[in-house]
Amino acid sequence: MPESRPTGEAPEAAGSPRSPRSPRSPASRRVHLPSAALAAIRRQAGAAAPAECCGALIGLLTERPPSSSSGPLTCEEMRVARVRPARNVAPSPTRYEVAPEEIAAAEVEAAEIGLEVVGYYHSHPASPPVPSPTDLEAAWPWYSYLIVDARTGELRAWRLAEDRSAFVEDDLRVFGDGGA
């Protein structure tokens, strides 16, 4: 997704960035997104249509104990601090590609403020915010992927399953004023 999309290669072969997190997927993940970031993603999606828009999610990922003994073994909390729009270097209604130098710039920007790139977002100009087969083919397992329906503004969060066979929907929480 963020690089050389679509490649169909394993992330290691495609030169994907390494994650400091464990490659094991959590049992559940909650993604916290500021409403101002949601508004920015929606504006970018509208402006890019009929092509897909894209960008990086900069924030922090932490593990927390489950809320109940019957819950998952671990839960992750992802807090997005800001979004970093990227230019789609392969603009299309069904694909996007973020240039490697933009991925590197997002990593540097995040590190400078003590955060990391925790995921990527893109739009679906003419379909619901559900991952496509192309999205599955190019995804990296440790990131969250936000997909916005450019027609309705609906936004959903996804992550790649541990076995890379499908996406798992994350619990998206929008907070703050002015965009939800």
52 is catalytic: yes
Residue 142 pLDDT: 83
Residue 172 pLDDT: 96
> If the chain, 180 residues long, is cut into consecutive pieces of 10 residues, what is the mean pLDDT of each piece?
34 35 59 97 97 97 63 72 96 93 96 96 97 93 94 96 92 76
Structural domains of the chain ordered from first start? 25-175 (3.40.140.10)
Residue 155 pLDDT: 97
Q: Is 59 helix (H, G, I), strand (E, B) or coil?
A: strand
Q: Which one of 52, 76, 97, 116 is the catalytic residue?
A: 52
pTM for this entry: 0.80
Q: Are 76 and 136 in contact (CB under 8 A)?
A: no
Residue 27 pLDDT: 63
Residue 57 pLDDT: 98
State how far the Cα of 90 lies from the Cα of 31, in Å rounded to an integer: 28
Q: Are 103 and 1 in contact (CB under 8 A)?
A: no
Residue 9 pLDDT: 27
Q: Are 126 and 152 in contact (CB under 8 A)?
A: no
State how far the Cα of 7 lies from the Cα of 67, in Å rounded to an integer: 39
